[in-house]
């Protein structure tokens, strides 16, 4: 069966510090991968998606970036965090052209 992992579960970082959140998927090959953010009181905002290694599409311009160094690994990064980057970050995967996206447990990021 397929599983999706995200870490860390919780992160508190000072403004201006770097960020690296990791997501890995097991049990499937060549998944589509997604990064979402849920800010307080708001819905899920798609940040990045990837259909293959090294292929990243950005949905929203911001100070975040994403990379896919391996087929089942998706990394969300920032060189300098802003206060507004606080939120709940979710990684998801789907099969290519699949009906459903499956979400990881999420990372709660608090930027102080």
Partner 1 sequence: DQQVKQNSPSLSVQEGRISILNCDYTNSMFDYFLWYKKYPAEGPTFLISISSIKDKNEDGRFTVFLNKSAKHLSLHIVPSQPGDSAVYFCAASLSYGQNFVFGPGTRLSVLP
Stretch in the footprint of partner 1 (CB under 8 A) among 60-68, 70-78, 79-87, 94-102: 94-102
Determine, following the binding rule CB under 8 A, whether residue 103 of this chain makes contact with partner 1.
Answer: yes
48: its two tokens: 């990045």
Beta strands 3-7; 44-52: pairing state: unpaired
71: its two tokens: 């087929």
- Least gap, CB of 44 to partner 1 (angstroms): 4
Determine, following the binding rule CB under 8 A, whether residue 106 of this chain makes contact with partner 1.
Answer: yes
39: its two tokens: 């800010």
Please pick, from the candidates 14, 43, 54, 69, the single residue that binds partner 1 as defined by CB under 8 A. Answer: 43
8: its two tokens: 């860390």
Binding residues with partner 1: total (CB under 8 A): 27
Tell which residue, 47, 53, 61, 62, has the closest CA to residue 92. 47
Q: Which is nearer to partner 1, 27 or 98 (CB)?
A: 98
- How far is residue 34's CA from residue 36's CA, in Å, rounded to a whole number? 7
Q: Would you tell me which residues interact with partner 1 (CB under 8 A)?
A: 4, 34, 36, 41-46, 49, 59, 88, 90, 92, 94, 96-106, 108
């Amino acid at each position: 069966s397929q599983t999706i992992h995200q870490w860390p579960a919780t992160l508190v970082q000072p403004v201006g510090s770097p960020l690296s959140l990791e997501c890995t998927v097991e049990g499937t090959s060549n998944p589509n991968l997604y990064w979402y953010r849920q800010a307080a009181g708001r819905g899920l905002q798609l940040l990045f998606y990837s259909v293959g290694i090294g292929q990243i599409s950005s949905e929203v311009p911001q100070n975040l970036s994403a990379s896919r160094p391996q087929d089942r690994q998706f990394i969300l990064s920032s060189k300098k965090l802003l206060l507004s980057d606080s939120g709940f970050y979710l990684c998801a995967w789907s099969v290519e052209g699949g009906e459903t996206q499956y979400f990881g447990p999420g990372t709660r990021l608090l930027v102080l």
